[in-house]
Amino acid sequence: MKGKIHKILLNEITHLVVLIIISFMIGVCFVVVYKVDNEQLVELGSLKKYEIGAEGIFIVDQYYLENKALYIEGCFLRLGEDLDYVNSSFVLIDESEICWAINTIPTKRESATEFFNDGYNYDDSGLKGYIPLSKLKRGKYRIGIVTKNKENVSEIKISDKIYERE
């Protein structure tokens, strides 16, 4: 009887270990897919097809190189509008006037709501983007942002910041 119980317990433990390993492997697969998807440089086409000068405040706080990637931090907001959905991405505009969107995520920027103090919520107006340097060709890139207006038209606002990939 003891041998039979021992065998059943061993079998259950083996199944549990196999399930843990499979769960871990699935998690690793999701991480890899997420990482690959978020490191894409997406060609948006010619700058000429966009309305230039999106209404709103666009600031590039800084851009820097870290771990063989270009990082950009800044914010975008439209005064008098709650920012409940972020539909903006940093863009790099190459010397041929081609726009390239990079992965951009919203970040908290409570200071914007506090600064304007106009009854609207700008807490999620902060943005952070990055792209591995291996995805960028050599050359100069102007840093901008692409966003959609109320009419769902894509607009680009360009900062005075220029990044040069050597």
pLDDT per residue as tens digits for the range 3-39: 676 677 677 777 666 666 666 666 554 544 444 445 6
Segments making up each domain of the chain, as ranges: 1-39, 42-165
Query: What pTM does this model have?
Result: 0.74
Assigned fold of 42-165: Immunoglobulin-like (2.60.40)
CA angle 96, 98, 100 (to 5 degrees): 140
Mean pLDDT of the chain: 83
Sheet architecture: strand order including 98-101: 42-46, 98-101, 88-93, 139-148, 154-165, 51-52
Q: Which residue has the higher pLDDT, 142 or 39?
A: 142
Q: What would the two tokens of residue 60 be?
A: 């590039």
Whether 97 has a pLDDT exceeding 80, the answer reads yes
- Spatial distance between the Cα atoms of 149 and 39, rounded to a whole number of angstroms: 26
- Distance CA(23)–CA(17), nearest Å, equals 10
